[in-house]
Amino acid sequence: MRHYELSTPENFLGLAADASDLADSRVVVLPIPYEATVSYGQGTREGPRAIIHASRQVELYDRWRGDEPALMLGIHTLPALAPSAAGPEANVAAIAACAAEYLAAGKHLVGLGGEHTISVGIAQAVAQHYPEFVLVQIDAHADLRDSYEGSRYSHACAARRILDLGATIVQLGIRSVCPEEMALIAADPERITVAFAEDVHAGRHREQLAALVHDRPVFLTIDLDGLDPTLIPATGTPEPGGLSWDQVIEIIGIVATHGRIVAIDCVELAPIPGHHVSEFVAAKLVYQAITRAWAAAPDASR
């Protein structure tokens, strides 16, 4: 008989081995502590570790479902992807190669950033398997600049690089744009749809979002500054007037119900020492996204 206790594992949700084994888990969490092009607050490289640490305090039980989705799905946490000194493009390529490996193995992929540039690598991997995918982007910023501060792989260019892959883009919660981005949005309405924050607050996004993702593969990217900074102040570029918890959960539910989510990421957490609210909200949000995306799927049980 064992007369001692072991601490909670330092993996996403603190799952025991029988619920987090790679072979049997349907979901893999990939920490990507990449930060190179942030333009205001620093610290997104610490985001993945903070989210994983906070997630160990998240209850597994989902009272709307009446079960514990993490135990049903199995969620394996991979080692953090080491940043490359070769520059943003090389890092994006490394992210794409790693993500493609797990998508090819039939896993549901969750990336934890890091700055929003990581989404470009995940999108490249998604495009290999689902060329007609839709990017659903919860964000305060459009990220549609072709270049920013001398880099085409800046976090401010993430959606533009994904647009280059041929994706359809649906953005929600946007409240900070530049003239270049507004011109691109106006010029390409077939591929770029924006529900500004005021549209979401007024409920004008629901039917259009459902129609745009209907029966299509979806890569869901959640930039945490899309939420109001009263919920998540620990982000490098906070913007007032953001989305509420309930609005974000509703958006994820619409996408999961009408589309087919094939990958998720959560980016731009810049932890504030001694302040735990932001990382806990982020961790719970990621778990809610996993639950709504995959726990109801026919192949959800291991």
Domains defined along the chain, listed by start? 23-294 (3.40.800.10)
Rounded Cα–Cα distance for residues 9 and 159 (Å): 35
Output the pTM of the full model: 0.95
For range 74-88, the mean pLDDT? 92
Band (37; pLDDT cuts 50, 70, 90): low
What's the one-letter identity of residue 8?
T
Band (62; pLDDT cuts 50, 70, 90): very high
Angle of helix 277-294 relative to helix 47-55, nearest 10 degrees?
80
Upstream peptide bond of 114 is cis (omega within 30 degrees of 0):
yes
For residue 262, give both structure tokens: 């094939």
Name the residue among 197, 151, 121, 204 with its Cα closest to residue 39: 151
Rounded Cα–Cα distance for residues 146 and 162 (Å): 11
Strand-strand pairing, 134-138 and 168-174 = parallel
Contact between residue 147 and residue 68 where contact means Cβ atoms under 8 Å apart: no
Cα atoms in the 13 Å half-sphere on the side-chain side of 78: 23
Count Cβ neighbours within 10 Å for each residue of 55-81 and write b for 16 or more, e otherwise: bbebebebeeeeebbbbbbbbbbbebb
Question: What are the helix (H) ranges across the chain?
Answer: 47-55, 69-73, 88-104, 118-129, 158-163, 179-187, 197-201, 206-213, 245-258, 277-294
Could you report the per-residue pLDDT of 97-110, keeping only the tens digit for each? 999 999 999 999 99
